Amino acid sequence: MSKSRLGVPPAGAAGMAVAMVMVALPARADTCPPSTTCPTTVTFTVTAVAGLEITVPNGPVALGSGTPGNQISRQLGAITVSDQRAALAATWVASVIAAPAGFTTGGGTAAETIPAGAALYWSGPATATTGTGTFVPGQVNAAAAQSLDVSRTAFGKTTGSGNNSATWNPTVVINIPVQAVIGTYTGTVNHSVA
């Protein structure tokens, strides 16, 4: 091996070693022969815009008037469930119940109260839907109306995936007791979704 007068390798050999290090090829994910498919895996994320929510009409909603021993019946207005969870199993149940205090007038004494059980509810079919799956009314018609003294299913979605929505316009029926006193009665009909 030849040495310079100072005992170090000739400059040419050192230069070659440096050059070899600097031209190292970048790492490759895959190497494929000619005329074959050479795959690269890619990933991305789908996120949800929002969650699950229910929209109800602004009140007060006037149902009309009637006499003791008769009925008052009127549609409440559009109720919409919007499911923006982008879920694989995008199912939900909307529930409805009247406030336990019932419907009161004047001072809200016993004589001035119509109980929550005197109110009936039927959802009817959906007036609009979006997305895939099965949308099911809680009460398809007037014959299926249910009292609101306990929680009832107003509407539901039992199958499907991804974002969706449903709108319905339920009917509220008030059976006015024969002992009811005159006055304008106020109460609440409460919807929720889960």
> Does 4 reside within a domain?
no
What are the angstrom distances between the C-alpha of 85 and each of 56, 61, 72, 82, 167?
20, 31, 38, 9, 17
- Per the prediction, the chain carries an average pLDDT of 90
pLDDT at residue 2, as a whole number: 45
Secondary structure of residue 146 in the 3-state scheme: strand
- Within 10 angstroms of residue 180's Cβ, the number of other Cβ atoms is 22
| pLDDT higher than threshold 90 for residue 7 | no
Which pLDDT score, from 0 to 100, does residue 6 have? 47
Q: Name which residue leads in pLDDT, 13 or 134.
A: 134
Number of domains within the chain: 1
Can you give the pLDDT at residue 30?
80
CA 79 – CA 93 distance, rounded (Å): 13
The answer to whether residue 45 is domain-embedded is: no
40 assigned to some structural domain: no
**Whole domain around residue 156: which residue ranges?**
52-193
At 1, the pLDDT band (50, 70, 90 cuts) reads very low
Return the structure tokens found at 78. Answer: 């559009």
Say which CATH number the domain at 172 has. 2.60.40
33 within a domain of the structure (yes/no): no
Alpha-helical segments (H) within the chain? 11-22
**Is pLDDT at 18 greater than 80 in this prediction?**
no
Classify residue 149: in a domain, yes or no.
Answer: yes
Q: pLDDT tens digits for 52-88? A: 999 999 999 999 999 999 999 999 999 999 999 999 9
Q: Are 108 and 164 a contacting pair, CB within 8 Å? A: no
The pLDDT tens digits for 158-189 are 999 999 999 999 999 999 999 999 999 999 99
The tens digit of pLDDT for each residue in 114-166 reads 999 999 999 999 999 999 999 999 999 999 999 999 999 999 999 999 999 99
